[in-house]
Amino acid sequence: MFYFVSIGLGDEKDITVRGLEIARKCKRVYLESYTAILCDTDVTTLEKFYGCPIILADRQCVEEKADSILQNADIDDVCILVVGDAFAATTHHDLYLRAVQ
């Protein structure tokens, strides 16, 4: 299963309980790191609080290598963490449509 998880705009505690549960159970967790900026935290802090390793997904990764993000998402749980609203950027809509296909 492929999940989009909005993590808020501030620090590591802005994630919802359900979002945190999803991140903790996923085999791969990506952080989309270019459409919005984390204000009061960093990846290391997120990894400690969420209890899982996080893979940074820059613009090239999300837009040009989306297939690698979605690889095996039909078998394994995979999520992408998005700062702010998970569907605010058209890039996220594109990734969603690819996941559905």
Please write the tens of the pLDDT for every residue from 73-91. Answer: 999 999 999 998 888 888 8
On whether the pTM is more than 0.85, the answer is: yes
For CA atoms 92, 78, 57, 49, give the dihedral sign.
positive
Residue 100 clears pLDDT 90, i.e. is over it: no
What is the greatest pairwise CA distance in the chain?
A: 36
Predicted confidence (pLDDT) per residue in 16-72, tens digit:
999 999 999 999 999 998 888 888 899 999 999 999 999 999 988 888 888 999 999
Count CB atoms within 10 A of the CB of residue 68.
Answer: 11
pLDDT at 94: 84
| Angle at 26 (CA atoms; ends 34, 14), nearest 5 degrees | 55
Q: Are 86 and 35 in contact (CB under 8 A)?
A: no
**Class in CATH terms, 2-100:** alpha beta
